[in-house]
Amino acid sequence: SPTPTAIPAATNDAQFARARGVLPGGVDSPVRAYGSVGGTPRFLVSARGPYVTDVEGREYVDLVCSWGPAILGHAHPAVVAAVQEAAARGLSFGAPSPTETDLAEEIRRRVPAAERVRLVSTGTEATMTAVRLARGATGRELVVKFAGCYHGHVDALLAQAGSGVATLALPGSAGVTVSSAAETIVLPYNDLAAVEQVFAERGEHVAALITEAAPANMGVVPPLPGFNAALARIARAHGALLIQDEVLTGFRVGASGWWGLEGQVEGWVPDLFTFGKVVGGGMPVAALAGRVELMERLAPLGPVYQAGTLSGNPVATAAGLATLRAADASVYARLDTVAARLGDEVSAALSAQGVAHVVQRAGNLFSVMFGPDAAGGVRDYAGAQAQDVFRHAPFFHAMLEQGVSLPPSVFEAWFVSAAHDDVALDRVVSALPAAAKAAAAA
């Protein structure tokens, strides 16, 4: 006879209780646990277009979009068909397959400096490999990163990381050795003088400078004009590599990612890119890419080892390829329109309630930061942390009550999709006044 746990429980509370009995915190990734907003996470059972549905049968307009991948909306027919077709031909080969080459070519078509591409399964693997490759190529050990930038849970990159590390108010992570932390230099974001100084003092030991192309893991904090170009220049002058982490921005903020909005216009390229999220269309695909002579230092051609049983998985790459092929100019135009309208509406609703805030934007990524200190604009992690964090939880829950699912942390971007039609947007907009009121009362 079936065990009681095999019977699907009908409420989120029951699911959460059951999950906590077997998964630490009831989740497989920390920020899903509602740690900073409190309450019971919604256990989702399906998703379509701009909506997700929980185990209780409630539907929400989704502004998490799987934390980025779902730019076409959930369960886009072309992507689902591609996955079903691929799955029917076999789930994993452990041998090269043509779809991997197709996807890599599509990436290079959009970002020509991605001369060679290594497909992996998570953004974490991509940045971890990028750092190893930079160290292998330069023979140096130090890595420079910015406070508030999240690059996945790589030991060397967890210091003052944003995202869930910020949400849980952790300085870094237990289990990261002193020696690995000592090889990481953390600087304030948007502070070129700090970068210049570190490179002047220790530049000859720096293997890589890694940065989010436009940070969105401390909330959205766009680079000041010319900041990224200066990073490329400084790194090059000292023989270090610039790793531009586009796991979040890549193929979301535009057809060629953040680089397309900035580097392509200004005429510079980073040494290495990392991609994830959209590149897998909701399946586990991420990538590391860059110029030939660097990338060919990876095994099997070179001495920098990296491998993966499921790397370039045929079903996952089919999802990514179908997603990128469907993400045409009209999709990016729609993402921009949706983000512009939502950002404006949120701001208007908060202003109407007298809630000091700023809506920070980077392309179609945006986030709300609360408080008079933030209202003048936030340019680094210290500024993001100085906001009125306490206003987020009541705002979040008021939206959730009214059927809108926001990121359950103030240190995360809001994600839109091209499937967010006017019906879905109107639902969000009509929920805003009550949420703004709740934020004001906090």
Active site residues: 150, 245, 277
Q: Which residues contact 25 (CB under 8 A, 6 or more apart)?
A: 33, 35
DSSP 149-178: ----S-GGG-TT--HHHHHTT-SS-TT--H
Contact between 64 and 163 under an 8 Å Cβ cutoff? The reply is no
Check residue 184 for interaction with ligand PMP (CB under 6 A): no
For ligand PMP, which is the closer residue by CB, 127 or 409? 127
Check residue 412 for interaction with ligand PMP (CB under 6 A): no
CB of 160 vs ligand PMP, minimal distance in Å: 14
Check residue 306 for interaction with ligand PMP (CB under 6 A): no
- The residue among 58, 42, 37, 59 whose CA lies nearest residue 50 is 59
Interface map 136-155 toward ligand PMP (x if CB under 6 A) = --------------xxx---
Check residue 211 for interaction with ligand PMP (CB under 6 A): no
Check residue 286 for interaction with ligand PMP (CB under 6 A): yes
Applying CB under 6 A, among 41, 69, 276, 320 the residue interacting with ligand PMP is 276
Q: How far apart are CA 202 and CA 194, in angstroms?
A: 12
Angle at the Cα of 329 from the Cα atoms of 328 and 335, rounded to 5 degrees: 95
Check residue 287 for interaction with ligand PMP (CB under 6 A): no
Instruction: Tell me if residue 226 falls in helix, strand or coil.
Output: coil
Applying CB under 6 A, among 247, 355, 358, 384 the residue interacting with ligand PMP is 247
Q: How far apart are CA 244 and CA 261, in angstroms?
A: 13
| DSSP at 414 | B
Q: Which residues contact 102 (CB under 8 A, 6 or more apart)?
A: 317, 321
DSSP 272-313: EEEE-GGGGBTBS-EEEEE-HHHHTTBTTTSSB----TTTT-
Instruction: State the virtual CA torsion across 107, 109, 112, 118 in degrees, nearest 10.
Output: 30
Interface map 343-382 toward ligand PMP (x if CB under 6 A) = ----------------------------------------
CB of 156 vs ligand PMP, minimal distance in Å: 13
Applying CB under 6 A, among 12, 99, 124, 184 the residue interacting with ligand PMP is 124
- Site size with ligand PMP, rule: CB under 6 A: 16
Instruction: Give the relative orientation of helices 98-110 and 314-326 as an angle to the nearest 10 degrees.
Output: 30
CB of 398 vs ligand PMP, minimal distance in Å: 26
CB of 201 vs ligand PMP, minimal distance in Å: 27
Q: How far apart are CA 179 and CA 181, in angstroms?
A: 5
Check residue 122 for interaction with ligand PMP (CB under 6 A): yes
Q: How far is CA 27 from CA 32, 61, 209, 219, 401, in A?
A: 6, 22, 32, 22, 21
Q: How far apart are CA 126 and CA 155, in angstroms?
A: 13
- The stretch near ligand PMP (CB under 6 A) out of 116-124, 202-210, 260-268, 423-431 is 116-124
Check residue 31 for interaction with ligand PMP (CB under 6 A): no
Contact between 345 and 429 under an 8 Å Cβ cutoff? The reply is yes
Please state the separation of Cα 155 from the chain's center in Å: 18
Applying CB under 6 A, among 69, 123, 203, 257 the residue interacting with ligand PMP is 123
Check residue 248 for interaction with ligand PMP (CB under 6 A): yes
The residue of the chain with the least Cβ separation from ligand PMP equals 123
Check residue 245 for interaction with ligand PMP (CB under 6 A): yes
Check residue 263 for interaction with ligand PMP (CB under 6 A): no
Check residue 217 for interaction with ligand PMP (CB under 6 A): yes
- The stretch near ligand PMP (CB under 6 A) out of 202-210, 241-249, 251-259, 379-387 is 241-249
- The residue among 155, 160, 263, 144 whose CA lies nearest residue 201 is 144
Interface map 159-178 toward ligand PMP (x if CB under 6 A) = ----x---------------
54-83 residues in contact with ligand PMP (CB under 6 A) are 67
CB of 184 vs ligand PMP, minimal distance in Å: 15
Question: Where do contacts with ligand PMP occur on this chain (CB under 6 A)?
Answer: 67, 122-124, 127, 150-152, 163, 212, 217, 245, 247-248, 276, 286
